[in-house]
Structure 1
Amino acid sequence: MPAQAPRWRTALRGVLNSRALRTHIGTVAGVTILAVLLWRLGTGVFLDGLRRIDGPALLAALAIGVLTTVFSAWRWQLVARGLRIRLLLGEAVADYYRALFLNAALPGGVLGDVHRAVRHGQSSGDMGRGVRAVVLERVAGQIALAVVGGAVLLTMESPVLAEARHLAPAVGLAGLGALAVVVALRMNRTPSSRRGRVLRATLGEAREGLLSRRNWPGVALSSAVVLAGHLGMFVLAARIAGSDASVAELLPLAVLALLAMGLPLNVGGFGPREGVTAWAFAAMGLGAGAGLATAIVYGVLSFVASLPGAVVLVVRWYQGLRPANRYSPVSAEKYAPKDAARLSSKAFPFSAEPSEGRPMTPESV
């Protein structure tokens, strides 16, 4: 007869296998990282960083946010055009601000982009292409971060420079091996394979959206400007937190922080970024406390930069509640039963009413 497992082990297994934990694992990880950092470094660093934020710093954050959001929305518009989806720049800016605010306000850091993708797909009348346009736009930003970040980490003094130099040959060989596998599969593919057709169609859309002759200059320029804005925000946060390190010292640390922010293990963006930044500052001899304060200030400035997205949410929610939208004295032919049912959904704060294949947005944005 097998021995019965201890109760604590059974209970722990039940907690780890619970659906609630799997759903909120990112939030739990982010809270755990922050708790450990505050336990080791104290809350004084956190409070001191917040006290240093003043009015000019908030205005600078808003200005950087306008720059990065407009260029991000332009990149999204270019990708959507490559996928033959209509998207006006003003509407893209409003939707992008809304997504940034939701990313900053909700756990996980990606729910705003998910909402943006679904709404764009609904408003364009092609859910698949709408979602893929958002995915490709985000991929373009990650590619820019990987290329520029890799160059910075391999050429400038950083905590990972020595390790990166040792790993570079292995990574290069692995890349060549992966390329050889792709070429071999391409040469031996079966034309009738459904999976192969789907893959070729996806790659074709990626090529049209990101690498076509008409799109790639704009995508590259916008990605470079957006990345420069994020790096500038990090340098500003370091200065506000009291760090006197040079820009050359801060750039590799900023790249590491941005890479950590890509992990979906955060609470409103806080979590891995603070842990990696504290470690990187300590490794560079700048102090873990200074790194934590810089990351905290950066998080606050990023949240402030996303606040226009809250205005977009409120405006659209108000537009959905206006009596004119519900009881407009127009003929019955204009509001057929199908349109009336569609209008009834506008009371939801996050709604974006489709109109002629594009989302409705305030003209002032």
Structure 2
Amino acid sequence: MTTTLDPTILERPLDRFPAPVAVPEPLPEPLPEPVRARRTVSRKTLWAWGKLLVGVGIVVAVMWKVGASGFAEGLRVISLVEVLAALAIGLATTVLCAWRWSLVARRLGLHLPLRRAVTDYYRALFLNAVLPAGVLGDVQRAVRHGREEGDLGAGVRAVVLERVAGQAVLIVAGVAVLLASPARQVGLIVLAVAAVVVLAYLAARRLTGARSRWRRGLDDIRAGLLARNAWPGVALLSALALAGHVTLFLIAMRAAGATQSPEQLLPIVVVALLAMGLPINVGGWGPREGVTALMFAAAGLGAAQGLTAAVTYGLLGLVASLPGALMLVRRRERVA
């Protein structure tokens, strides 16, 4: 059987032919959940290791430039007087920060008595001081409180807002002090670098996070920090806690041999505290030592003495957090 072609088919108008049907391209299959989870974990692992490597790199660079004697000198200059001062100031600042946390948590609808907040805050300070990332203690208190209250997200946001409040007051105080300081050029450069790092970090988090989380975060900021019955107390507690940290740093500088007036040392203290807030430290170590040595050198006081002062402050901060170790042991004994 043969098929003949109709000779009139070429004479038909084009609109007589049926339009071709577009076949949609198949959508890419979504990645299996384990693959997405592995990729997320991989990014988090890379970020964590990157922060640690940067912090270690700063410490190594300072030791290579200044010498390792500054670290050994920081151990030698601490006496019983500095240890007792660290414990007393640490108690005051911990109570103030825990009170701030309790206030913010209540504004978010969570129950957090002051006594329990102080205990958890002490434990967090100790874990932050002895664990590499420098924030694992805060993560632990946020998760534990959120789970006990039945709202993990609110528990985490309360801790984040509490820490943000402290950093905001520090930044405002830092700008005011640096603008009135003779060494404001170096300080403002460090402050600008810190601002760029923080903004880049926040931008990265926003690009990888859901918009709904950011809306919820803005609502929590309005309720937990900016409300009329919230911000005065939060600001006052943050300012008093900052005064305690500044005082402890000045004590460390005196122990390291600095004889300048507090007015001359205050800009260095503020910049060093700002550097401690950068998310690239190892248990608080790294940027603090580098910035303090740099500021001391810029002020003509010697980078080695600045390194000794920063190391002394770090050790006194560890001493101030030691009650948290006792509370951690007591909690484990109760659980057992």
Range class of TM-score, shorter chain = 0.7 to 0.9
Write the deviation string for residues 106-129 of structure 1: whole angstroms up to 9, x where unpaired: 112111111111111101111111
**Residue of 250, 261, 268 corresponding to 2:276:** 261
Q: Is residue 2:88 matched to residue 1:59?
A: no
**Pair 1:129–1:50, CA change in 2 (3 A):** same
Q: Which amino acid in structure 2 is aligned with residue 313 of structure 1?
A: L
**Residue of 224, 240, 250 corresponding to 2:239:** 224
Q: CA deviation at 1:161?
A: 6.5
Q: CA deviation at 1:201?
A: 4.0
**Residue of 117, 132, 137 corresponding to 2:157:** 132
RMSD of aligned alpha carbons:
2.2
The 2-side partners of 1:149 and 1:48 are apart by 28
Q: CA deviation at 1:36?
A: 2.0
TM-score (norm 2): 0.78
The 2-side partners of 1:88 and 1:70 are apart by 12
Identity %: 56
Matches within 5 A, 1:44-83: 44-83=69-108
SS of the aligned residue for 1:211 comes to: coil
Q: CA deviation at 1:142?
A: 0.9
The 1-side partners of 2:158 and 2:45 are apart by 31
Q: CA deviation at 1:32?
A: 1.9
The 2-side partners of 1:268 and 1:163 are apart by 25
**Pair 1:163–1:70, CA change in 2 (3 A):** closer
TM-score (norm 1): 0.72
Q: CA deviation at 1:251?
A: 0.8
The 2-side partners of 1:226 and 1:113 are apart by 17
The 1-side partners of 2:92 and 2:240 are apart by 8
**Pair 1:22–1:217, CA change in 2 (3 A):** closer
The 2-side partners of 1:123 and 1:20 are apart by 27
Structure 2 contact 178–188 (Cα < 8 Å) conserved: no
Matches within 5 A, 1:184-263: 195=211, 199-263=214-278
**Residue of 148, 166, 181 corresponding to 1:123:** 148
Structure 1 contact 80–133 (Cα < 8 Å) conserved: yes
Q: Is residue 2:305 matched to residue 1:280?
A: no
Q: CA deviation at 1:157?
A: 2.3
Structure 1 contact 159–284 (Cα < 8 Å) conserved: no
Structure 2 contact 142–156 (Cα < 8 Å) conserved: yes
Write the deviation string for residues 19-61 of structure 1: whole angstroms up to 9, x where unpaired: 8654322222222222222222222222122111011100100
Q: CA deviation at 1:89?
A: 0.2
Task: Out of 309-318 and 264-273, give the one that drifted further.
Answer: 264-273
The 1-side partners of 2:151 and 2:333 are apart by 27
Q: Report what 2:11 is aligned to.
A: none
**Pair 1:163–1:28, CA change in 2 (3 A):** closer
Which sections of structure 1, spanning at least 5 residues, go unmatched?
1-16, 172-193, 322-365
The 2-side partners of 1:105 and 1:118 are apart by 19
Q: Is residue 2:55 matched to residue 1:30?
A: yes
Write the deviation string for residues 60-108 of structure 1: whole angstroms up to 9, x where unpaired: 0011100110000000010011111110000000000111111100112
Q: Is residue 2:133 matched to residue 1:108?
A: yes
**Residue of 103, 113, 116 corresponding to 1:91:** 116
Write the deviation string for residues 134-170 of structure 1: whole angstroms up to 9, x where unpaired: 1110110011011111111112222427967xx9xxx
Q: Which has the larger radius of gyration?
A: 2
The 1-side partners of 2:187 and 2:272 are apart by 18
Q: Which amino acid in structure 2 is aligned with residue 67 of structure 1?
A: A
The 2-side partners of 1:201 and 1:43 are apart by 47
Structure 1 contact 82–209 (Cα < 8 Å) conserved: yes
**Pair 1:200–1:267, CA change in 2 (3 A):** closer
**Residue of 291, 299, 303 corresponding to 2:314:** 299
Q: CA deviation at 1:266?
A: 2.0
Structure 2 contact 178–267 (Cα < 8 Å) conserved: yes
The 1-side partners of 2:44 and 2:110 are apart by 37
Write the deviation string for residues 223-246 of structure 1: whole angstroms up to 9, x where unpaired: 001111111111011000011111
Structure 1 contact 159–280 (Cα < 8 Å) conserved: no
Q: CA deviation at 1:130?
A: 0.9
The 2-side partners of 1:28 and 1:21 are apart by 10
The 1-side partners of 2:162 and 2:274 are apart by 17
SS of the aligned residue for 2:225 comes to: helix
